[in-house]
Chain A
C-alpha cells in the first residue's frame, strides 16, 4: 500500500495509541480488499461501542470501563486496550439501543435503558452525533455530491451513492469506528469513478408508482443482480425520497446492491450511455406484471394466517410524510383490540411529528411512534406476536427469519386496514 506521511505517522503511533490501532485495522482491511491507498473521509456513520449482552459479558473482566474494552477489542479488533479519544471527523451513530421515551413499550428493563443511555453518553462525549437512525439523510446528515463517506447500514449506503451521488462502500462496524478516529477509508469500490458505472440493465415494462411498487421492484432487482450495479430504464414516474428509500432498502436486502442508476432520474445517469459509461451490459432483465406478481407472492409466502396481531411500519425509519399518511388513514379511528401498531422513525423526525400533533394522533388511535430501533434490529415485538403486517420488503425479508413469525407484505393502507380490523386483506397487484 502507498501511505502518505500523515498515514504513516498515525500507523507509527505519533497520533496516539487509538489512532495507531485504528490504522492497523484499516491497513489489514485495505490489504484484504486489494486497495492501494486510502481516501480522506469527512462523513462517517456507524455504531461505535454498540454493546450486546454477549459483548458486555465477553469483555467484563477487562480492567477498564466496559466501553473502552468493547471499543478496543471489538470495534478496533485490537489485542491492546486503548482509551477512546475524541473522534477526528464528522460522524454519526446509526440505529440501535432503546427509545428513551418509550423503552417500557419496547419491553426494555430499567437496566437496559440505563445501559443504552450510558453508552450513548460515552460516544456523545467523544463527538459522535446521536442520530440513532438507519436514515441519517432524514435527520440532517445529507452528504454532498462526490463526498467520500464511510457508512454502514445497507439502505443508507445505497441512498448515499445512487440518490445523493456521494461515495461510500458498505462499511462495517469495525471499519467505521476506525474511520471515525482517523478520517481514512480504503480507496476501493465505489470511491473510484470506474466502479460506479452500471453493469446490468433492468427494463421496467409496467407502471411503477406507489411506495409498495418501488419496494417490490427493488426486491426484484436485488435478487436479479445481487452485488452488481443495475441500470433501470422504462416506465416509472419520478420517484420521491420515500420511494427511493424503499427501492434501495429492498435491493440491498434481496441482493447486495450498493449503487444503482435510474436513467433520467438519478444524478449519475442523465442518459443510458452515461449510466453504463465504458461498461458492457452483462445481462438484461425485464420487469413486467408476471415478475411483480412473483415478487409479491414470494414476499407473502411466509404467511398463512389472516388474523394479524402486530403491524410494524417505519423500515427504513419513517419520513415525516409517511407518518402524516398514517395519521390520515387512522383519523378518528381506533385500532383493533387484538393488534399492536408500532411505527419507527428517527428522533429528529419524531420531534417534527410531535410539533405537528402526529405523535398524539397515533397514540389516540392505539398505536405508538417509536425511535432508535426497529423490530428486526432490536429483535423486539409485542409479547405473543405471531402474525405481522409490514409495508417494507426489507423488514419482510428479515423478520420471519429472526423472530419466527409469519409476515404479510402490502401497502401502508393494507397495513393500517389490518391494524383497524385485525385481519389481513392485502390486495395482490
Chain B
C-alpha cells in the first residue's frame, strides 16, 4: 500500500468515480486531437499520442484548440470510450461544456497541483459533489 493524499477542490460536474489515472502535463485538443470512437489522443506531437483514456481518471492541465472540444468528448460518452472522471487545473468554456455533456464527475481548483501529485497508474477516487480527490500513490 502506498501513500494516500487527499485534495480539496470545486465540483464541475457531480458524481463519484474511481479508477487508474492517466496524467499529462500537456493541454488536450478535442476535435483533431482525439479520436472519439477509440477514446485515444491523436494529436501529432502530444505525449499521450496513441494512448486511450477510456475508463481512466483523466488528469490534465486543461483544454485547447477547436471549439469542437465538447462534441468530441460528448461523442466519447455515446461511443463508450469516455474517461471515468476528469481532474484539471485551467477552467475554460471548452472543458466545462465538455464535462457537462460527457456527464462524468469532474473537479477543478484543487488546493494542491494534481499534476504534481498524481502519476499515471495511481488509483484515484473522485467525489465531485464534495470536490474531493483521493490519490493512492502506487510508488512513493
- B32/A172 in contact, CB under 8 A: no
Chain A residues, CB < 8 A from B70:
172-175
A398 touches which of B10, B32, B98, B106 (Cβ 8 Å): B32
> Of B27, B65, B93, B99, which one neighbours A188 at CB under 8 angstroms?
B93
Interface centre among A32, A54, A172, A256 (most CB of B within 10 A): A172
Residue contacts A-B, CB under 8 angstroms, 18 given? A25-B100, A54-B37, A77-B74, A77-B103, A151-B67, A154-B65, A157-B67, A171-B67, A172-B97, A174-B70, A174-B97, A174-B100, A175-B93, A186-B93, A226-B64, A227-B62, A256-B65, A398-B32
Flag whether B44 is at the interface (Cβ < 8 A): yes
Pairwise interchain contact A170-B94, C-beta atoms closer than 8 A: yes
CB-based nearest B residue for A173: B71
B78 and A58 contact, CB distance less than 8 A = yes
Digitize A209-244: 1 where CB-to-B-CB distance is under 8 Å, 0 elsewhere: 000000000000000001100000000000000000
Residue B43 interfacial (CB < 8 Å): yes
A172 near B69: Cβ-Cβ < 8 Å: yes
Distance from A257 Cβ to chain B, minimum over Cβ atoms (Å): 9
Residue pair B64, A255 in contact (C-beta under 8 Å) = yes
Determine which of B33, B44, B101 lies in contact with A400 in the assembled complex, contact meaning CB atoms within 8 Å: B44
| Bound CA–CA A398/B64 (angstroms) | 13
Find chain B residues with CB under 8 A from A90 CB.
none
Q: Which residue numbers of A lie inside 8 Å of B, CB to CB?
A: 25, 28-29, 32-34, 54-55, 58, 74, 77, 151-154, 157, 169-175, 186, 188-189, 226-227, 252-253, 255-256, 302, 376, 397-398, 400-402
How many interface residues does chain B have, given as a range? 35 or more
For A55, the chain B residues whose CB sits under 8 A away are: 78
Q: Check A227–B90 contact: CB distance below 8 A.
A: yes
A250, chain B: closest CB distance, angstroms: 12
Q: Which 5 A-B pairs have the closest CB atoms?
A: A172-B70, A256-B64, A152-B67, A32-B96, A169-B93
With both beta carbons as reference points, the residue of chain A lying nearest to B73 in the complex is identified as A172
Cβ of A29 and Cβ of B66 under 8 Å apart? no
CA gap between A173 and B98 in the complex, in Å = 10
Bound-complex Cα distance A222 to B64 (A): 10
Is there an interface contact between A170 and B44, defined as CB atoms closer than 8 Å? Answer: no
B74: A residues at CB distance < 8 A: 74, 77, 174
Closest Cβ of chain A: how far from B14's Cβ, in Å?
Answer: 10
Using known A-B contacts A32-B97, A172-B98, A401-B32, determine if residue A226 contacts B43 with beta carbons closer than 8 Å: no
Task: Please indicate the chain A residues that have their CB under 8 angstroms from the CB of B10 in the complex.
Answer: 34
| Given contacts A32-B96, A34-B10, A77-B100, A172 and B68 within 8 Å (CB-CB) | yes
**How many angstroms from the CA of A25 to the CA of B90 in the assembled complex?**
21
Whether B91 sits at the interface, judged by CB under 8 Å, is yes
Assess the B93–A174 pair: CB atoms within 8 A.
Answer: no
Question: How many Å from the CB of A16 to the closest CB on chain B?
Answer: 22
CB–CB A29/B92 < 8 A: no
A189 to B75, CA, bound (A): 26
For B67, list chain A residues within 8 Å (CB). Answer: 151-154, 157, 170-173
Given the complex of chains A and B, what is the CA–CA distance between A325 and B104 in angstroms? 49
**Separation in Å of the B75 CB from the closest CB of chain A?**
7
The minimal Cβ–Cβ distance linking A406 to chain B, given in whole angstroms, is 12
Residues of the B chain whose Cβ atoms lie less than 8 Å from the Cβ of A253: 65-66
Does B23 count as interface, using CB distance less than 8 angstroms?
Answer: no
| Minimum Cβ distance to chain B for residue A302 (Å) | 7
Give Cα A77 to B78, complex, Å.
11
Most B C-beta atoms less than 10 A away, residue of A29, A32, A153, A171: A32
B87 interface residue per 8 A CB criterion: no
Interface residues of B in 97-123 (CB under 8 A from A): 97-101, 103, 106
Which residues B14-73 have CB closer than 8 A to chain A? 27, 32-33, 37, 42-44, 62-71
User: How far in angstroms is the closest Cβ of chain A from B80?
Assistant: 11
Task: Check A401–B93 contact: CB distance below 8 A.
Answer: no
B93 contacts A189, C-beta separation under 8 Å = yes
Besides the known contacts A152-B68, A172-B70, A226-B27, 11 further A-B residue pairs in the complex with CB atoms under 8 A apart: A28-B100, A32-B13, A77-B103, A152-B67, A170-B94, A172-B69, A175-B70, A175-B97, A256-B94, A400-B44, A401-B32
Q: Point out the residue from A29, A154, A256, A302 that lies within 8 Å of B96, measured CB to CB.
A: A29
Closest Cβ of chain A to B106, distance in Å, is 8
* B133: Cβ under 8 A from any A Cβ: no
Closest-CB distance, B71 to chain A (whole angstroms)? 5
| Chain B min CB distance to A389 (Å) | 18
Question: Which A residues are CB-close (under 8 A) to B68?
Answer: 152, 172-173
Nearest residue (CB) in A for B93 is A169
Question: B104 to chain A: closest CB distance in Å?
Answer: 12
